[in-house]
Structure 1
């Protein structure tokens, strides 16, 4: 096979199983090809240039997105980080894996990939459900820390077209999102596979297989007469390197997330491969949004590949759309970096009205599907989701909600009930959410006073007091002010102190107050606030309501 034939074969999507023998030999050619494909334009691959970024209006209007954080780690239905923790001797995932698949010296995560078939997956049906729930954008997971690409990847033979479901997962999600008029995004987490999979280099410390290396040490030649013959486990596990300091502690990865504190730093080949894969993903599927599960950008600060990806993505968006329509999400951004992309807070929310648009990502249960959460009925309920959404939107943010997907491609009955109820609340009340902008202040009431600060990338969503009938949030649109009440007044009238007479926040007169989904209401404006007489028959979903003030 000649170089040009290999590149042509990759570009038209020939399954990598036919090409895997040649991939290593032509790795430098493929790297060169991706570098040449980087689009030139106003954005350069440095932070100063990326500060030109302006959040597109579609994202500012959208407010609510739904995410399928779905890949082979959902197949066991044992929760988060299965591909790492299944190599942690004695853990619940390890014990499950030994019983279900066998000992990780022979049957490792690659066997989970082979077991994942996604046999009941119907992306059209799910995306339609999410649209009916009010989602304006949908995000599919392109790759997780497990280093498996859920698309027709030209630079990672371990992908969902070649094995497992043998389906283009991202292609299917993209088609469904387009059909239903939702903006489409992808999430990319694979930059951390280098450290994430270090547990796969271990061996048991006791028992009959004490000292026998786990399958992260296997090579291509070990696959003879196996189902994975022709594939190199090193391409999946990325473990041909020295272990990071303290790697025997499974939790050590958290303090080494930015390649500090003794972490072994990824080599150039690894970084170049990540660049190639991500550029290929962008060019194939043209997403409106890319969520990076990284501090700032992937592999920053040890490599500039994240900066190259960002500049290419922005320049490509301008070239295709005539203006910048792309969104990048990154975590733990400093003040300057927040000018370059959209800051994402994981399972948390800001305690203030932010000057730049931002996003909270959270999930109904665990990030990867965990059947015990369903069995114990421990998902977030619709009330919690709606309260978080209102608070986030009032502070200039969006909410990206993960609805965990089972290995077979379906969601369970509890999740369906929550998503359906969210849509039911949105029908009369979405006017106060979608297309709005923050008001002069985000809200009033006692709940905010107990809001704790962010921890690392977030993790403060459950802190503080529950919202009460004294808590209000504000949004505005087209000269209309929306007052979002966070609990129904069972006795007495609603009093919004920020709208009192003589208050500089709202000097304009108020002529009408309506309950969305209801009718006009009686009100009086005094020095104590805007006092509104709510109807005696409260709405069915009264844990939050919206007053339209004109």
Structure 2
């Protein structure tokens, strides 16, 4: 915030431009029919996996950010006090020693499938510029000849991951960082980096910026042509955007005058879709025609949103691997999933592999627990849309396209299914059949001053259901969509 007002005080932008930043631009609907269809399918998938992984896992530090001299509190370096360029040299050398000898993407894919995840977003390149795919644009990659893992037959990690997940029927998406802190056409070594942004004047050195644009275009084209069917291009680093699209938030990320970091998303998107028809493009936080859905990070909106959206959130506390990460409980994750889906969103859950290529055992046990619940209750999640009132107390609602509705009761840790479940806002139609998923018993219900009361037989209460229970209502009297 203080950076934003400092820029205003220096007169670096007009009043009209500044005022425009205070309003969030509206969502821009897609016009490509193939993309519209893919977005509708994506909204049916509901639950996905994102994986942050790179050489930084060897140190158990946050991905990329420790090399960004932007905020000392966020980018702590180890050991403390090490000079920046000494640290950068050690950090970049991690690419050579990265050797995930237990890399087994089939194991990850099976765990994700068993958890009920329908799509994957894998980090092909984070902001530090290290490529987890066999790019021809740089040697700063996992397949570089001097890399410890380069002789492994599975060295082209992104390709192996995408293929393994597709084999399990999971849709593949590529995370790609628009900024690249390694390439000399973004962080030019003639100048020191000042913050996360390009470190030279793009107007003064337009040829260098054009080199960066071409570098970015070429890498994305490699991913679109050499890595099989991809459904999503998930672009991070939203400060790389045209000047006219700068927002109050993105301006706060710059310690100097904002620059026109336009990489020509129109050209990139047209190229990508020429190779991958129907590709969903997510230019994160850059509200416009190339942000097919929005991605609130580590948070769940209070109310349903009027456009396609996805909460991306960590399964533990960190996006990348740390040795002692603490994982959210299965109950917490399922409650998040139900809350998100009831509000019309998707849930993209992150896990970070370790330096040897393995996940924490807690990641596997957590996914197993999620899968056990989804095996019984998945029909209340997949292929659903939001329906008002969305939530009433501990009951969330979802709807199928056939008009059936699910009332999902959120159980507290160790709570038994109550004898009566009550909610307001929806009323079953006359003759509707109510059934708790995982059972075959027809449930009795009535309307009272308190709302709809559904009686749960004692035999069901004693079954030991955990996390949440879903009641299918075959039809309702009226439904606000």
Shorter-chain TM band: 0.7 to 0.9
Aligned position for 1:126 = 108
How far apart in 2 are the matches of 1:83 and 1:272?
A: 27
Indicate which of 307, 320, 335 corresponds to 1:356: 307
Q: Which moved more, 1:164-173 or 1:421-430?
A: 164-173
**2:343 equivalent to 1:399:** no
Q: 1:385 is matched with which residue?
A: 333
CA contact (8 A) 1:73 1:82 kept: no
Residue 523 of structure 1 is aligned with which of 424, 445, 454? 445
Pair 106,156 (structure 1): closer, same or farther in 2 beyond 3 Å: closer
| Rounded Cα–Cα distance in structure 2 between residues aligned with 1:380 and 1:48 | 34
Identify the residue that residue 173 of structure 1 maps to in structure 2. 161
What residue number does 2:237 align with?
294
Stretch moving more, 51-60 or 81-90: 81-90
Q: What is the rounded CA distance, in whole Å, between the counterparts of 1:429 and 1:140 in structure 2?
A: 27
Using the size of structure 2 for normalisation, the TM-score is 0.76
CA RMSD of aligned residues (A): 3.4
Residues 185 and 212 in structure 2, CA contact (< 8 A), matched pair in contact too = no
> Which residue of structure 1 lines up, in the alignment, with residue 180 of structure 2?
193
Query: 2:46 is matched with which residue: 39, 60, 63?
Result: 63
Question: 1:88–1:476: structure 2 CA closer, same or farther, 3 Å change rule?
Answer: closer
Q: 1:84 to 1:55 in 2, by over 3 A?
A: farther
Question: Does the 8 A contact of 2:187 with 2:199 survive in 1?
Answer: no
Which stretch shows the higher mean deviation, 534-543 or 307-316?
A: 534-543
Q: Give the match for residue 18 of structure 1.
A: none
Q: Which stretch of structure 1 is more off in the superposition, 382-391 or 55-64?
A: 55-64
The correspondence of residues 3-402 of structure 1 with structure 2, limited to 5 A, is 51-52=31-32, 53-54=35-36, 56=38, 57-81=40-64, 83-84=66-67, 93-95=77-79, 104=86, 107-162=89-144, 163-166=147-150, 167-189=155-177, 191-194=178-181, 238-243=187-192, 247=194, 253=196, 267-285=209-227, 286-295=229-238, 299-301=241-243, 302-318=261-277, 324=278, 326-334=279-287, 336-337=288-289, 341-365=292-316, 366-373=318-325, 378-402=326-350
Q: Give, in angstroms, the shift of residue 241 of structure 1.
A: 4.3
Report deviation, 1:161: 1.4
Q: Secondary structure at the match of 2:179?
A: helix
Q: CA deviation at 1:307?
A: 2.3
Residues 106, 473 of structure 1: alpha-carbon distance in 2 compared, 3 angstrom cutoff: closer
Aligned to 2:434: 513
CA 1:533–1:313 in structure 2 vs 1: closer, same or farther (change >3 Å)? same
Distance 1:398 1:356 in 2: 12
Query: Which residue pairs with 2:361 in the alignment?
Result: 413
Question: For the structure 1 residues 107 and 332, does the alpha-carbon distance in structure 2 shift closer, same or farther, using more than 3 Å as the test?
Answer: closer
Aligned-partner SS, 1:65? strand
**How many pairs align?**
410
Say yes or no: does 1:547 pair with 2:468. Answer: no
Aligned residue number for residue 462 of structure 1: none
- Report SS of the residue matched to 1:59: helix
Structure 1 stretches lacking a partner, 5+ long: 1-46, 198-233, 319-323, 446-469, 501-505
Q: CA deviation at 1:48?
A: 8.2
2:143 and 2:156 in contact (8 A); partners too: yes
For residues 328 and 258 of structure 1, do their structure 2 counterparts lie closer, same or farther at Cα, with a shift above 3 Å needed?
A: farther
